[in-house]
Chains A and B, each alone.
Chain A
Amino acid sequence: MISMILLALLALAGTPLFAVIAASAMYGFAGEDVDLQVIGIEIYRLAETPVLLAIPLFTFAGYLLGESGAPARLVRLTQALLGWLSGGLAIVSLVACALFTAFTGASGVTIVALGALLYPALREARYPENFSLGLITTSGSLGLLFAPALPLILYGVVAQQMNLDQAVRIDDLFAAGLLPGLLMVTLLGAYSMWRARGIVETNKEFSWSEACGAVREAAWEIPLPVVVLGGIYGGYFALSEAAAVTSLYVLIVTVVIRREISLAELPGIMRESMVLVGAILIILGVSLASTNYLIDTEVPSRLFDAVRSQIDSKLTFLILLNVFLLALGMILDIFSALVIIVPIILPIAIGYGIDPVHLGIIFLANMQIGYITPPVGMNLFIASYRFQRPVLEVYRATVPFFVILLATVLLITYWPALSLYLVNR
């Protein structure tokens, strides 16, 4: 017990989480007199999970796109297509960021790559400063419920390791995230239109020539969401196939055809993208060991019995789950939260009759709010740093958006059909 408290303190003090998890796994196994060679055997299981292949491939493609001129072309295209709406530029920001985040995996890249283009544009169009700041900060994590976002994939992988009676297919997760994600974009868009009434943007008319120009300029990028999203949602190809094709396609387009990234820059971009992938996979690897230990010692079922004796209704459980996940999102980033917490709460949630696919959407939607929850939400700091604004000002600017997202999270939690309607069972 004391050693577990010590480990928790070390984690709070900033120790890399992989070390904390590895230590707890080895400590647990040593207590059961298991040869610690097991840690190597468990980490090697990373090589026995084919779907993981999608993670480095999509991340690499996302980093390449972020470094190329694709963000600027995406902004021009959405502007040409949606800019004529009232609050058009705000809606452009929401849609462009959601698309970009789905492809780059919600790692803060969106604010850096797209925010730098959208924030000045919003200010120039005379949107209030705190509205613009809040909008961009919030948009940075929008879209992680859409395929092929990394957190959805990771949730599927973690759930599949648990040997549940009900299989959690990643395709199902993709289908389940669609409506809740659209609901978030729609509500935020409606709020933006309301805030934008009275603001006259300069290029208000829809122009065919601008639309055609923007489409032609983005001709190489447009097939990507169509093929990847269409292919995955339509069931034409598997996730890792989509990832493989995407990475090679993006590599050829950015380096060979457009020449926006030179061969000399390539190793650096490869390394940067794999730093993120490595940081996620090493946590996943060591937590395969700790999860195995947890299951061996029946911690989840004992935990369920303990929770069950206190809470008897599904509704109370869901309320507590929301509170817990919101608090969790304040201190833990989405990737480590997925790997560490899902193995513990998933069996409990199933015990209360919650669909594991629905739980995934609840989990991610809560964690998405965590990105903008003070005091330590990651996007708050990225936005503060990127736009040179005090963090307190960013806190205040995101409040209305926070409230809207919170409302959608509650809807998602207590209305399972919203997530499960599109899932084929």
Chain B
Amino acid sequence: MSEIRDEAELGRILRGLHRLEDVFLALLLGAMVVLAPLQIFLRNFFDAGIGWVDPLLRVLLLWVGLMGAVAASRSDRHIGIDALSKILPETLASVLGLVTSAFTAGVAGMVAWHSGRFVADEWKFESTAFSGIPAWMFESVIPVAFGLIAIRYGLRTRAQARGLLSKRRGRNDPASRASGGGPA
């Protein structure tokens, strides 16, 4: 019973996280859509742009891109070659799906870890980006985004493993066949 409660709890946390990510992404993109034309306007009509807007826009691009990538991993919409999965038998395809998700989770985790070390070093050496703002603040999106992606693919791996297990069980037990299936 407690397992079901944990699942519900996990679902609730994930939905909250999705909402948070969506709002954050909308704010980042919104800032870009407003700041970029504003800078052009100021430069053309008053001959002077705001000094920190251009570097900020470039940082926003990095953030928007990586948060977009996090949103893409929510439903596995990253670009990949999906030719094989279309022609393979279903069980083999789901086993492959499990392997590729686990691999992706592992790689994203490694990128998060090593870029996290990079950000920590930047913090230690107090490097600055522009206008005296510490560089680590802007760079921190890299480990955070890859960490979130690793979590997504980790959860996906878990769901796929369960789907496979329940499918095997379902072969002997017709009652669970209807409910057994792949990841949501």
Which A residues are within 8 Å of any B CB, using their own CB? 10-19, 22-23, 26, 36-37, 39-41, 43-44, 46-50, 52-53, 55-57, 60, 237, 240-241, 243-245, 247-248, 251, 266-268, 270-271, 274-283, 285-286, 331-333, 335-336, 375-376
- A44→B79 contact, CB < 8 A: no
Chain A residues with CB under 8 A of B64 = 56, 274, 277-278
Stretch at the interface among B8-16, B136-144, B160-168, B172-180: B136-144
Main SS class of interface, B: helix
Which residues on the A side are within 8 Å of B26 (C-beta)?
Answer: 266-267, 270-271
Can you list 12 A-B contacts (CB < 8 A)?
A: A16-B79, A19-B103, A23-B107, A267-B26, A270-B25, A271-B71, A275-B72, A277-B68, A279-B68, A281-B69, A285-B66, A331-B83
- Chain A residue with minimal CB distance to B97? A14
B residues near A (Cβ < 8 Å) are 22-23, 25-26, 29-30, 32-34, 36-37, 39-40, 54, 57-59, 61-62, 64-73, 76-86, 96-97, 99-100, 103-104, 107-108, 110-111, 114-119, 121, 138-139, 142-143
Q: Give bound CA distance, A248 to B37, whole Å.
A: 7
Cross-chain contact of B36 among A26, A57, A267, A281 (Cβ < 8 A): A57
Known: A15-B100, A271-B26, A278-B71. A60 touches B65 (CB 8 A): no
- Closest chain B CB from A286 CB (angstroms): 8
Provide the residues of chain A in CB contact with B100, threshold 8 Å: 10, 13-16
Cβ contact of A46, chosen from B61, B78, B82, cutoff 8 A: B61
Q: How far is the CB of A240 from chain B (nearest CB, A)?
A: 7
Other A-B contacts than A39-B115, A274-B67, 12 sampled, CB-CB below 8 A, are A14-B97, A15-B104, A37-B114, A40-B143, A47-B61, A50-B58, A53-B58, A248-B33, A267-B25, A275-B77, A281-B68, A333-B79
Contacts of A23 in B (CB 8 A): 103, 107
Other-chain residue from A18, A55, A248 in contact with B69 (beta carbon distance below 8 A):
A18
Q: Across the interface, do A277 and B32 meet the contact criterion of CB distance under 8 Å?
A: no
User: CA separation between A413 and B73, bound complex, in Å?
Assistant: 37
- Please, which residues of chain A bring their CB within 8 A of the CB of B111? 22, 26, 39-40, 43, 286
Cα(A285)–Cα(B117), bound, Å: 18
Q: Is A19 in contact with B108, judged by CB distance below 8 angstroms? A: yes
